[in-house]
Amino acid sequence: MSNVEKIRYGNVLNGIENFDGIPHDLTSPADGRYVGTVYYANKSTADEAVDYAEEAFNKVWSKTGLSERQKLLMKLADRIQERSDAYSELETLNTGKTIRQSMLMDIPLGIDHIRYFASTKEFQPSRKIAHPEFPDTEGVVEYLPVGVVGSIAPWNVPFLMAVWKIAPAILAGNTVVLKPSHYTPLTALELAKDAIHSGFPPGVINVVTGSGSEVGDAIVKNPKIRFVSFTGSSPTGSKLMASASPTIKKFTLELGGKSPNIVFEDADLDHAAKGVLFGIYLNSGQLCESGSRLILQSSIRDRFMIKLKELMQRMRAGNPTEMETDISAITNASQQEKIIRMVDMGIGQGAKVFYRNEISGKVPEHGIYYPPTLLTGIGHDMEIANEEIFGPVLTVMEFSTESEAIEIANRTNYGLAAGVWTDDITKARRVASSILSGTVWINEYHLLSAAAPRGGFKNSGIGRELGLEGVLEMTETRHTFISQGKNDLDDVAYGLLFPD
pLDDT in the model for residue 434? 98
**Is 254 one of the catalytic residues?**
yes
pLDDT in the model for residue 437? 98
Reported as a pLDDT band with limits 50, 70 and 90, residue 431 is very high
Strand ranges for 6-90 from DSSP E: 8-9, 11-13, 16-18, 22-27, 34-40
pLDDT in the model for residue 122? 97
Percent of the chain with pLDDT over 90: 95
Catalytic residue among 48, 288, 388, 465: 288
3-state secondary structure of 316: coil
Q: For the residues 196-209, what does the mean pLDDT come to?
A: 98
Residue-wise DSSP of 252-285: EEE-----EEEE-TTS-HHHHHHHHHHHHHGGGG
Can you tell me the distance from the alpha carbon of 371 to that of 380, in angstroms, rounded to the nearest whole number? 24
Task: Give the mean pLDDT of the chain.
Answer: 96
Q: For the residues 42-67, what does the mean pLDDT come to?
A: 98
Reported as a pLDDT band with limits 50, 70 and 90, residue 4 is low
**Domains, the chain, ranges and CATH?**
8-255+460-479 (3.40.605.10), 260-442 (3.40.309.10)
Q: For the residues 22-40, what does the mean pLDDT come to?
A: 97
pLDDT in the model for residue 1? 44
Angle of helix 186-197 versus helix 66-82 axis, rounded to 10 = 120
pTM above 0.85, yes or no: yes
Q: For the residues 356-368, what does the mean pLDDT come to?
A: 96
For residue 114, pLDDT beyond 70 = yes
pLDDT in tens, 289-337: 999 999 999 999 999 999 999 999 999 999 999 999 999 999 999 999 9
- Position 184: which residue type? T
pLDDT in tens, 151-193: 999 999 999 999 999 999 999 999 999 999 999 999 999 999 9
For residue 2, pLDDT beyond 90 = no
Q: For the residues 333-356, what does the mean pLDDT come to?
A: 98
pLDDT in tens, 445-496: 999 999 999 999 999 999 999 999 999 999 999 999 999 888 777 888 888 9
Helix and strand element counts for the chain (H, E): 17, 23
Q: Is there a contact between 29 and 367 (Cβ–Cβ < 8 Å)?
A: yes
**Is 288 one of the catalytic residues?**
yes
Q: What are phi and psi of 91, to 5 degrees?
A: -60, -40
Can you tell me the distance from the alpha carbon of 329 to that of 336, in angstroms, rounded to the nearest whole number? 9
Q: How many residues are given for the chain?
A: 500
Catalytic residue among 91, 254, 388, 465: 254
pLDDT in the model for residue 487? 79
